[in-house]
Amino acid sequence: MASRLILRCRPTLVVAALALLTAVSPAATTAAPVPAPVPVPGPPPPSAFDPSPARAGLERLLPSVAGQFELVAVDEPASGDYFSVSGTTGAIQVRGTSPATLLAGVGWYLERVAGVDIGWPGDSLARLPSTLPEVTGTITRKAAVPHRYALNDTDEGYSGAYRGFASYRHDIDLMALHGVNEVFVPTGAEYAYYLALQRFGYTAAELRDWIPAPAHQGWWLLQNMSGFAGPVSEQLIESRASLGSKIAEHLRSLGMTPVLPGFFGTVPPEFATRNPGAVTVPQGKWVGFARPDWLDPTGPVFARLAATYYWFQQRRFGDSDMFKMDLLHEGGTPGPVDVAGAAGAVQQALEAAHPGATWVMLGWQRNPSEALLSGVDRRRVLVVDGLSDRYDGLDRETEWGGTPYAFGSIGNFGGHTSLGSNTGVWGDRFHTWLTAPGSSLRGIAYLPEGTGGNPAAFDLFTELAWQPGPVDHRSWFAAYAARRYGGADPHAAAAWEQLRLGPYSTPSGTWSEPQDGLLAARPSLTAARAARWSPSAMRYDAATVERALAELLRVAPELRATDAYRFDVVDVARQALTNRGRVLLPRIRTAYEVKDAARFRELVAEWNAQVELLGRLVASDRRFLLGPWLADARAWGTDRAERDRLEYDARSILTTWGDRVPSETGGLHDYANREWAGLIQDVYAPRWAAYFASLDTALANRTDPQPIDWFARDDAWARGHKRYTTTPTGDPVALAAEVMAALSR
């Protein structure tokens, strides 16, 4: 760094100055001292990088105070990324090793000095002073790990596959603000397949039939399925490729790595027939869907196809040094193919296209296997572990043989709106694993299947990478309560202490997500969960959420105006009301089984009243509305038929998920359930109303209740086109108070 401070003068000017000095006579020099030469201004020293993308991010995130930050680019030392923050009132200097790290420094300042929060979602920027407060001394934070990875393979499908660039850019800015430096980018991945496979015997029309619609593409990239909700259009492929390239370029501009999907052998039907010498392995079924074939990577055709794929990908999306792919995901079969040899061939093809690139693998179930890892250069692999906080007794060092890996968490499945995470596990376990002798832990991986919920979990998890030691759970939540709403408040502190003790202290051992709500379940008197693979019982004391709601409603009026407060009060009230369903349904069951029709009808009326209130509550916040989800999908269509297909894609993934067999036999229905206005009123509530009506009739007639074809009902809704509002209605605080009153009766 010191070399940057040395004055650099133009050589011609230096020569001229020396010539002038030598022209002075000796007599003149003895008569009077010669003044020192005046330094001639030269070009400024080269910067470590261009900080202007970070400046642009500040203008987007903090337009009113962005000018009070000075952003200074510094070289990254051998020890890795760091930032430092200092400054006086209204003049804050942030130094950092990349544009993204500069934003991380700004984020740290906002939380630790200015006392406000920008969460995912919700912020308290309304409480940010117009003149930024000074920093006492200098705050410095060094990244504990080089890899700060974000986004599950499923995130696009469960967080919104039809968003525009402004939405993705905001999320990336937010991730940078929280220290993330590597982001998975599947958007537009179909483009490279589409063009490459036309060189290998397929028509454009065949490929457009084979490629699923955007909300389901994540599972196609995982080799689980193909062709759902299609065909996709040429225009859609082009538009998504354009969006994906913008996302990747924005990441690069911030010094972040766009992690692109790699090629490991997924091919359409009849590939071997159309390409002599190719060998393909049928992959069977995945929860009812026919899986695409796998092209043997050790055969003579794979390398050519992979090279073609990477050529088209790089031409459109630019370069990267990280590529995500998982061989034989969730039940894939190698057939006669040697797994080690196949893995080596996949890595060799990646290396040929991108020398030195890292292969990113998901740590999930038995992946990656010992056989797979035995065939690759493990130094060029990063396993993003999805199970670090789920099970006990994990030994990733032994299991993965020293392969570099990232500590990860899948905090929800399907993008459920459930509140909570195993946050208590993170603080101790991450640091223990990181500091173990010979540790191969090299990162964190934020991997919920759907983002945009549980802002406290996102904040805490990403902070792990910037703390020098274990996180004190209680102290962290106390500090979070103060900045979340932009000011210390005893009731906010008490609310978050209850949330910490309850939904944010769920243990490891079995699950990494909280239970979902029974309202979204297929109606049954014994319903225990909505999604087949969700927890079947409460994972914490439900009273903690009700106590948290009571405290939130007593927070000082000046803090209630913040966006974060208004989101949280809806979210906590929603969770408290949802949890009551697990108390009420067993009572309804008892009344039905003892054939007490009057009591049955009284309890059903109570259930219906709570559902109606829940629908009004979530309608008060745009982030709990179905309308924007569907409007975004229709906006991508070029004609009515395509708009209808894309809307079905967006509706089905929330309800039926797929056709009858995957939905019913495979158990995918309601996998992505969420308590949103629109879904509550037109999907979940009518289901239960029909079910309770059938039970009421059975009580009256002393017969068994008539069976109901739930798939047919849900599929009819998924193929519908009713418009839903994109504008929230109602006062969130008043509605949350109404929930509290209902729960107190």
Which DSSP string corresponds to 396-421? HHHHTTT--EEEEE---STT------
Q: Which of 339, 359, 385 is the last residue of a domain?
A: 385
Q: How far is CA 741 from CA 502, 588, 735, in A?
A: 21, 22, 10
CATH, residue 575: 1.20.120.670
Query: Cα–Cα distance between 117 and 111 in angstroms, integer?
Result: 6
- Does 458 fall in a domain? no
Alpha carbon 255 to chain centroid, angstroms: 19
Query: Cα–Cα distance between 223 and 284 in angstroms, integer?
Result: 11
Torsion from C-alpha of 475, 481, 486, 488, nearest 10 degrees: -70
> Is residue 591 domain-shared with residue 619, that is, in the same domain?
yes
List the one residue out of 577, 559, 567, 683 whose CA is nearest residue 630.
Answer: 683
Let me know the angle formed at the C-alpha of 467 by 461 and 468, rounded to the nearest 5 degrees: 145
> Is residue 41 domain-shared with residue 165, that is, in the same domain?
no
- 419: Cβ–Cβ under 8 A, 6 or more apart, which residues? 453, 454, 499, 503, 514, 545, 571, 572, 575
- Does 479 fall in a domain? no
Q: Is the peptide bond before 231 cis (omega within 30 degrees of 0)?
A: yes
**Can you list the positions of beta strands (E) in 104-159?**
139-142, 147-150
Contact 90, 133 (CB under 8 A): no
Query: Cα–Cα distance between 353 and 177 in angstroms, integer?
Result: 32
Contact 635, 162 (CB under 8 A): yes
Tokens of 409: 């968490």
Q: Nearest 5°: phi and psi at 381?
A: -125, 145
Query: Cα–Cα distance between 446 and 524 in angstroms, integer?
Result: 35
Contact 519, 684 (CB under 8 A): yes
Q: Which of 361, 385, 409 is the last residue of a domain?
A: 385
User: What is the domain count for the chain?
Assistant: 4
List the one residue out of 134, 129, 294 whose CA is nearest residue 224.
Answer: 294
**pLDDT tens, position by position, 282-307:** 999 999 999 999 999 999 999 999 99
Let me know the angle formed at the C-alpha of 301 by 369 and 208, rounded to the nearest 5 degrees: 90
List the one residue out of 477, 572, 447, 519 whose CA is nearest residue 688.
Answer: 519
> Is residue 200 domain-shared with residue 347, that is, in the same domain?
yes
Tokens of 335: 């057939």
Query: Cα–Cα distance between 408 and 431 in angstroms, integer?
Result: 13
Torsion from C-alpha of 155, 106, 257, 367, nearest 10 degrees: -50
- 530: Cβ–Cβ under 8 A, 6 or more apart, which residues? 516, 517, 518, 519, 520, 521, 522, 670, 673
Query: Cα–Cα distance between 313 and 1 in angstroms, integer?
Result: 37
Alpha carbon 153 to chain centroid, angstroms: 9
The DSSP code sequence of 180-234 is: --EEE--TTTHHHHHHHHGGGT--HHHHHHHSPPGGGHHHHHTTS---TT-PPPH
Query: Cα–Cα distance between 184 and 258 in angstroms, integer?
Result: 6
Q: Counting beta carbons within 10 angstroms of the beta carbon of residue 521, is it exposed (0 to 12), middle (13 to 18) or buried (19 or more)?
A: buried
Helical H segments across 222-282, by residue range: 234-253, 271-274
Contact 151, 446 (CB under 8 A): yes
CATH, residue 272: 3.20.20.80
- Does 477 fall in a domain? no
Q: Which of 108, 138, 168 is the last residue of a domain?
A: 138
Query: Cα–Cα distance between 258 and 182 in angstroms, integer?
Result: 6
Name the residue with tokens 């296997």. Answer: 369
- In 3-state terms, what secondary structure has residue 74? coil
Range of the domain at 73: 54-138
Contact 647, 721 (CB under 8 A): yes
Contact 695, 689 (CB under 8 A): no
Q: How many residues does the chain have?
A: 745
Let me know the angle formed at the C-alpha of 267 by 266 and 271, rounded to the nearest 5 degrees: 145
Contact 436, 480 (CB under 8 A): no
> Is residue 522 domain-shared with residue 558, that is, in the same domain?
yes
pTM: 0.93
> Is residue 208 domain-shared with residue 337, that is, in the same domain?
yes
> Is residue 107 domain-shared with residue 152, that is, in the same domain?
no
CATH, residue 126: 3.30.379.10
- Does 330 fall in a domain? yes
Query: Cα–Cα distance between 450 and 456 in angstroms, integer?
Result: 15
- Does 421 fall in a domain? no
The mean pLDDT value of the chain amounts to 94
- Does 476 fall in a domain? no
Query: Cα–Cα distance between 533 and 82 in angstroms, integer?
Result: 40
Query: Cα–Cα distance between 730 and 614 in angstroms, integer?
Result: 12
The maximal CA–CA distance of the chain, rounded, in angstroms, is: 128
> Is residue 115 domain-shared with residue 170, that is, in the same domain?
no
Let me know the angle formed at the C-alpha of 186 by 456 and 447, rounded to the nearest 5 degrees: 25
Q: How far is CA 180 from CA 38, 41, 147, 295, in A?
A: 47, 39, 8, 34
- Does 426 fall in a domain? no
> Is residue 129 domain-shared with residue 180, that is, in the same domain?
no
> Is residue 120 domain-shared with residue 254, that is, in the same domain?
no
- 683: Cβ–Cβ under 8 A, 6 or more apart, which residues? 655, 714, 717
> Is residue 627 domain-shared with residue 696, that is, in the same domain?
yes
> Is residue 603 domain-shared with residue 649, that is, in the same domain?
yes
Written as one letter, the residue type at 132 is: L
Q: How far is CA 706 from CA 519, 603, 691, in A?
A: 20, 21, 9
Three-state secondary structure of 562-604: CHHHHHHHHHHHHHHHHHHHHHHHHHHHHHHHCCCHHHHHHHH
Low-confidence ranges of the chain (pLDDT < 50): 1-37
What is residue 152's predicted lDDT score, i.e. its pLDDT?
Answer: 98
Q: How far apart are the first and last CA of the chain?
A: 67
What is residue 42's predicted lDDT score, i.e. its pLDDT?
Answer: 54
> Is residue 555 domain-shared with residue 632, that is, in the same domain?
yes
Tokens of 135: 């920093």
Q: What region, left, alpha or beta, does residue 282 occupy, with left being phi > 0 and alpha being psi -120 to 50 degrees?
A: beta
Contact 486, 128 (CB under 8 A): yes
- Does 73 fall in a domain? yes
Tokens of 713: 């009902």
Contact 197, 267 (CB under 8 A): yes
**pLDDT tens, position by position, 566-600:** 999 999 999 999 999 999 999 999 999 999 999 99
Q: How far is CA 384 from CA 6, 167, 328, 450, 664, in A?
A: 44, 25, 16, 16, 31
- 197: Cβ–Cβ under 8 A, 6 or more apart, which residues? 207, 267, 268, 305
Query: Cα–Cα distance between 672 and 125 in angstroms, integer?
Result: 31
Tokens of 275: 């390409």
Helix, strand and coil in the chain, % to nearest 5:
50, 10, 40
